[in-house]
Chains A and B, each alone.
Chain A
Amino acid sequence: MDPIQIKRDYFNAAKFIEKPSRKPNPIFPKLMDIIRGDPTNPVAAAAKVMNNPDTAVMYLGRSIILAWYLGVWYDPDVLKRYNTPNQPSPVPVDRVISAAAYTQGWTWRVAQAHPMGYSELRYGYWAQDALPLSDYIA
């Protein structure tokens, strides 16, 4: 269930290379082939992406995880460049994917918080106990 259809924002971020001019990302079909190759076992498919011998696929997978978690896009090439000893920090963020992606970032759930100016909690929520963390990250 995704009433906000946030996956469209994620797909748009992963499918295209924005800079210097928007064009399809040639790595994305490779990643999708791996996921589609094992439709019954997404965990195993994700492991194949994250341990892929083709590091371009692996870093695109990392960018997608960060997008889902934080709502911002880290360029896979930048992630690769910064993944070296004595790396400077922080890794520069390429862009916020969308306002919806930012407010839907999973990190807010893990923190049991909400971004400033946006909340899924509705009137009267304070009368109930907070949901346990396991409800968010199980």
Chain B
Amino acid sequence: MCAERIRDPDVVIVGSGIAGALIAKALATGGRKVLILEAGEALPPDINSYMNRFLMAKSKVPESPYLPELFNAKGDLTDPSTMNVGRPTVLSLGPKDSKFNDFQNPKMSYLVQHGPLAFGSTYERVNGGTSRHWLGTSLRFVPADFEMKSRYGRLSTGRSNTPIWRSGTARPRRRSAYPPMWRIRNISISDSAPIIPIRCRGLRCRRSTWRWKRRCPV
């Protein structure tokens, strides 16, 4: 539909979630023609279909309002990889203990996980991506994340090796002291949620997630 209106995009972004939207905004602000492709359901005209699906769900979990429906009429879980825009459900991401929970079985959990501990969070494949639900998981970098090598002797990408802030020194007060990606994410998401303080002491981080939930109805 809209793709026909943008015949010669400078950039094509796959996925209309948080990352895609932020990149698109930055590019469009810079004058580029951006096309975003989204595999999932289009935006409905109102939230009633989302609300009805949520209210009728036997287990009310973050992905309940959205398609595709992962459980069939008999209440059995369908293999998410066999449907268009499949994705995991938190109902199958626990340790193997019941009918559905088995995070190490991709036919149940969709995610391929080899570790001993489950990554129990999900995401959405609809217009808007995972911004459709919070799930209490709102990953936010803290200074220690950019000191993985100097502080912990571990590093995966090699990109963010520069120490931004060392423990024992004064913490930078200006936001510009933090890396750009940290800043972009905070500024954009704070349109719908307040910037909340993170108190850090070494690795122990605390954040008041209830404030996020209060501002976000779904």
Chain A residues in the interface with B (C-beta under 8 A): 72, 93, 95-96, 98-99, 102-103, 115-118
Contacts and interface: CB of A to CB of B under 8 A. Distances in A.
Given A96-B57, A116-B217, A116-B218, 10 more contacts: A96-B58, A99-B51, A99-B52, A99-B56, A102-B55, A102-B56, A116-B60, A117-B51, A117-B217, A118-B51
B51 to A, nearest CB: 5
A103 B51 CA distance: 11
A98 B218 contact: no
A99 B64 CA distance: 13
10 contacts: A96-B56, A98-B56, A99-B51, A99-B56, A102-B55, A103-B55, A116-B60, A116-B217, A117-B55, A117-B218
The 3 lowest CB-CB distance pairs between A and B, nearest first, are A99-B55, A102-B55, A96-B56
Contacts of B134: none
Interface residues of B, number: 10
B141 interface: no
A52 B57 CA distance: 33
Contacts, number: 27
Contacts of B212: none
Interface of B: 51-52, 54-58, 60, 217-218
B54 A117 contact: yes
A115 B54 CA distance: 11
A95 B56 CA distance: 8
Contacts of B56: 96, 98-99, 102
A102 B60 CA distance: 12
A93 B58 contact: yes
A95 B58 contact: yes
